[in-house]
Amino acid sequence: MKKTPLYIDTDMGVDDIVAISMIVASNKFDIRGVSVVNGVTTTKRSIRNAQKILGALNMFCPIFIGANQAQQGSTKQFPAIDRRRAMGLSLLKNISLPPSGTNPIAEISQLPEKITREINPITLLCIGPLTNVSTLLACQTAQRTIRRLYVMGGAIDCPGNVAPQFFSEYNVRLDPVAARSVFNTQLPIVLTPMDATREVPAKIRCATSNQKSNLATFYDQLKIIKPKSVAGRIMKAILLNNQSDFLYFYDPLVAAILIDRSIIRRKEMRSLSVKQTGRLIGNVISSKNAQTKTTVVFSVDAKKFYAQLIHLIREK
């Protein structure tokens, strides 16, 4: 089977690591590069953690040093406890990771040229703040090589997760200028906002009465699985050690949709913009537009998502 060339832009949070492990376990993608951005971890720590995770997964590709907090121009950050646990890989204490990696390190300024040189169209998985992606899309020659973007971000018709107002979601809020720029591109985008991720809770306490049965079944199966791969062991360890590090399967849901779009139950074509100032900063504004190339995922098949995740942990 011919693999899809894929680039991943990430802030290397723990759910990002699950998403990357899912992509590796699916065996459908040729991961050509990983760029890191400030988010739940700092850029410096993201590079170090990416080296360890990619090394453990036996993935050899360049790691691009992306935007830091100063370059994002944002004073808003993830909660300190989330950043501390993510940067320290606290959920993987019992997993053997290499102390360092051998993946080449490059500046983010080299990413457009690398993508431009690709022979086949590439897909871009965006699971962090969109600073790097906005910079990449400013290069028209690189744009011509990109087939589609899969993005996790925003809250359209539901509350966000950024306190205290809860109008926005972190990937958008940390760089609303970049998010607006990306949403204005003419490239096809599949956006998975919090509206969809709320249908796949990671913690029982966040599940509605209708969701609890699927989630309980998932964890019952997860506990007895004996993963055959490093990717499976990493995913299982993170999920069983998740102490409210992520309440919903944010980035893993985007990875699942990339692997199998039949997980989507309801989607709409929307034009998107992002509030840049005031108390609503980072809020995603949308309007229905049949002419746009942005597909917004609003609902997913949760049972199919959990089944896919179990399959990837168990079999690959």
pLDDT 10s digit of each residue in the chain, 316 long? 799 999 999 999 999 999 999 999 999 999 999 999 999 999 999 999 999 999 999 999 999 999 999 999 888 999 998 999 899 998 998 899 998 888 999 999 999 999 999 999 999 999 999 999 999 999 999 999 999 999 999 999 999 999 999 999 999 999 999 999 999 999 999 999 999 999 999 999 999 999 999 999 999 999 999 999 999 999 999 999 999 999 999 999 999 999 999 999 999 999 999 999 999 999 999 888 767 789 999 999 999 999 999 999 997 5
In angstroms, the CA 254 to CA 25 distance is 15
Task: Look at strands 264-274 and 284-288 and give their pairing.
Answer: antiparallel
Indicate the pTM of the whole model: 0.96
Contact present, 80 and 6 (Cβ < 8 Å): no
Quick check: 257 and 263 in contact, CB under 8 A? Answer: yes
C-alpha 41/C-alpha 118 separation (Å) is 29
- What does the radius of gyration of the chain's CA atoms come to, in whole angstroms? 18
Name the nearest CA neighbour of 153 among 286, 293, 60: 286
**Dist. CA 251–CA 192, nearest whole Å:** 9
Helices (H), 146-263: 170-173, 176-183, 194-197, 212-224, 230-240, 250-259
Residue 4 sits at φ, ψ, to 5 deg, of -80, 125
Q: Specify the DSSP element, H or E, that contains 270.
A: strand 264-274
Q: How far apart are CA 44 and CA 36, in angstroms?
A: 9
What do you get for the CA distance between the two ends of the chain, in Å? 16
Cis amide linkage into residue 164, ω under 30° from 0: yes
Tell me the domain boundaries of the chain.
4-315
User: Which pLDDT value is given to residue 135?
Assistant: 97
Q: Are 66 and 131 in contact (CB under 8 A)?
A: yes
Tokens linked to 171:
């990937």
* DSSP-assigned letter for residue 2: P
Domain 4-315, CATH homologous superfamily name and number: Ribonucleoside hydrolase-like (3.90.245.10)
For residues 297 and 225, what is the distance between their CA atoms, to the nearest angstrom? Answer: 30
Among all chains, which residue has been given the structure tokens 């590079």? 47
185, 143 Cβ separation under 8 angstroms: yes
